[in-house]
Amino acid sequence: MNSDIIIIGAGPGGYETALYAAKKGLSVILFEERRAGGTCLQEGCIPTKCFCRSAEVADTIAHCEAMGISTATPTIDMARVVARKNEVVGQLTAGIEFLLKHKLITYLPERAELIDAHTVKSASGETYTARHILIATGSTAKIPPIAGSNLPGVVTSTQLLDIDHIPSRLCIIGAGVIGLEFASIFRSFGSTVTMLEFAKEILPNFDTDISKRLKQVLAKRGIEFFNQAGVNSIESNGSGMTIHYTWKNQEHTVEADTVLIATGRAPRVEGLGLDTVGIHYSPKGIETDDNLQTNVPDVYAIGDVNGRCMLAHAASFQGRKVIDHLLGEESHIDLNIIPSAVFTHPEAGMVGLTEEECKQRGIAFTAKKSLFRANGKAVSMGEPDGLCKLIADENGSIIGGHIFGAHAADLVQEISALMNRATTVAQLKEMVHAHPTLSEVLQECAREF
């Protein structure tokens, strides 16, 4: 079978690119060895947000007396939490598979491997050709070489999403986005949570003002943090597990019933035939240029597999950029402006440059802050913990935005939109915001300049 483009992987990057290409009149063959939706839908973004919502409801009930409402202490039914998650995932998966019935899309639920720059072979032995091939195979959980990491009870985020009970003691190795979200969730569910992070701060890629304040708030919720901690081994002790780690040049241990390894993701490059075709790649992912093209003409790579930005929406827009490039159409997508968020309680969000990055690059900048406790909506919601930080260059253009607090994931999108239109803080000051809303923290921050 021949087509205009073959896409390997039907995660957000793959399936949305297939739909976009079909809309543009291109014929597509789309391969996926698991289920449509990829890591994001099956074991990442969507399932964790289902858990986040259950945790949020539990927190709301637990603190409802402060709002003048009396009710019984909530009981978490973990089986029902997981069942609801599965229902949501199933519904969304079915929706994607329905969309892929487009007349220009041939969806094949099987593995594919490159034979040459225009040909792939499916797991069933069939060969398919196309003018262009797009690799969108995503990533897998990265497991560090820790002795005992294969013990029962040591899990990845995928396995934790199907757990049938609430661990009494949960130890999380890695305080990045994945680790923090599960720490927040299971603390709300009632687990005692300990976090071991090798880096100096949690969320190493976030602005330090945000990461430090978020850590303080999560610590107040009872989550225990050990930064600059190196995990040495994990062993069974009869009643659970003992985690041995080095902290402040001394050996320490922590006891846990479940250990979550959340030390990041690795590009999924095995079995793709990259060496056969001569495509350059490294442990960081498949190497691509600004058009997401590999060193082999007509072969492209998007999303987690190229290691540029491991976010679902980054993959989707990288795919759109590839299709525009193939069609010779001008693209206005700026892949340097990609918002990201952490769905802890409270949330954190960021877009653009941090103060640290500005200093490293020698960029002249000004940074100002505003606090949620001065925002009427935040106080009325009972969510006064929060901070908004805007960074502007010497011309006053917004080049970075960082928020932690209620609905930070939504609020950071306004900053992203403003940055895409090269908005200045002076212009933001003049934009009318509804009152009372959380978005007023952005305008208040702009008024500090």
Residue 443's alpha-carbon distances to 18, 341, 347, 421, in angstroms, are: 39, 20, 19, 17
Q: Are strands 340-342 and 347-352 parallel, antiparallel or unpaired?
A: antiparallel
Element (H, E) at 22: helix 12-23
Which tokens in the block code for residue 7? 């896409």
Q: DSSP string covering 321-357, please?
A: HHHHHHHT------TT---EEE-SSSEEEEEE--HHH
Residue 436's alpha-carbon distances to 380, 430, 433, in angstroms, are: 10, 17, 9
229: left (phi over 0), alpha (psi -120 to 50) or beta: beta
- The residue among 195, 191, 166, 168 whose CA lies nearest residue 179 is 195
Catalytic (active site) residue 165: no
Which tokens in the block code for residue 1? 């079978």
413: left (phi over 0), alpha (psi -120 to 50) or beta: alpha
Q: What ranges in 255-403 are assigned the alpha helix state H?
A: 274-277, 312-327, 355-361, 376-380
Integer Cα distance of 205 and 207 in angstroms: 7
DSSP structural state of residue 397: B
Which tokens in the block code for residue 343? 């769905």
**Residue partners of 432: CB distance under 8 A and separation at least 6:** none
Considering 63, 165, 280, 435, which one is annotated as catalytic? 435
Contact 44, 312 (CB under 8 A): yes
Helix/strand/coil percent split, the chain, to 5:
35, 30, 40
3-class DSSP state of 49: helix
3-class DSSP state of 273: coil
Compute the C-alpha angle 313/314/316, nearest 5°.
60
Strand partners, 267: 139
Residue 266's alpha-carbon distances to 138, 262, 307, in angstroms, are: 9, 12, 8
Which residues are identified as catalytic? 435
